[in-house]
């Protein structure tokens, strides 16, 4: 079984089958990382590259990632595209509606620091990290699908290293 090879386990054969001992964190993190469902939050140009990453050539489904339309069913927001001052409260509302554990990827230059709209723009929110806490930043304008997939793989590494106590109520 491929899954057993990827987790830290202790196996022992007993009559009728096997005994597998592992720790809950490893199993839960493995399950979460390999099946991230992302919320389609595409506002601008990076949304087209997000669509292309989910399509035939650069398939997102092989990483276990499917788009969902509702924030209640998603655990990742890929914020793809410029966020304006009018749209910022809506992004926060969507983030608040997701249930924990939840992650945010900031895709594209506009979400990092305003991108090409940093100078001379009166209506662009220059970066989203003062609206929602961001886990991964992916630079590019727009980033290639390969960059986006690398960002998601990094996120999977981060999730595999998380502890159960991170998400417990204090």
- Please report, as ranges, the residues that interact with another protein according to CB under 8 A: 40-45, 47-49, 51-52, 55-57, 67, 69, 81-82, 84-87, 90, 94, 116-124, 141-142, 144
CB 63, min distance to another protein, A: 17
How far apart (Å, rounded) are the C-alpha atoms in residues 73 and 94? Answer: 12
Tell me whether residue 125 or residue 134 sits nearer to another protein (CB atom): 125
- Residue 152: what are its φ and ψ, rounded to 5°? -70, -35
Min CB(43)–another protein separation in Å: 5
Q: Which of 47, 138 has the CB closer to another protein?
A: 47
Tokens of 1: 């079984």
**Which CB sits closer to another protein, 50 or 134?**
50
Give the nearest distance from C-beta 22 to another protein in angstroms. Answer: 36
3-state secondary structure of 44: coil
CB 136 within 8 A of CB 147: no
Class of residue 91 by CB neighbours under 10 A (exposed 0-12, middle 13-18, buried 19+): buried
Q: Which residue number, 100 or 120, has a Cβ lying nearer to another protein?
A: 120
In the complex, the smallest distance separating the C-beta of residue 66 from another protein, rounded to whole angstroms, is 11
In degrees and rounded to multiples of 5, residue 75 shows phi and psi of -125, 15
């Amino acid at each position: 079984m491929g899954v057993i090879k990827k987790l830290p386990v202790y196996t022992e054969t007993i009559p009728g089958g096997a005994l597998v001992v592992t720790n809950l964190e490893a199993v839960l993190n493995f399950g979460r990382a390999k099946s991230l469902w992302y919320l389609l939050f595409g506002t601008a140009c990076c949304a087209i590259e997000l669509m292309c990453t989910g399509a035939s050539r650069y398939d997102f489904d092989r990483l276990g990632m499917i788009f969902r339309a509702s924030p209640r069913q998603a655990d990742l927001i890929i914020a793809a595209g410029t966020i304006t001052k009018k749209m910022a409260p809506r992004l926060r509302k969507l983030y608040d509606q997701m249930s924990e554990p939840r992650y945010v990827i900031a895709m594209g230059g506009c979400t990092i620091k305003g991108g090409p709209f940093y100078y001379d723009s009166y209506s662009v929110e220059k970066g989203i990290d003062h609206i929602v806490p961001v886990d991964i930043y992916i630079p590019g304008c727009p980033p290639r699908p390969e960059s986006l997939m690398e960002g998601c793989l990094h996120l999977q590494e981060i999730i595999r290293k998380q502890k159960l106590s991170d998400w417990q109520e204090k």
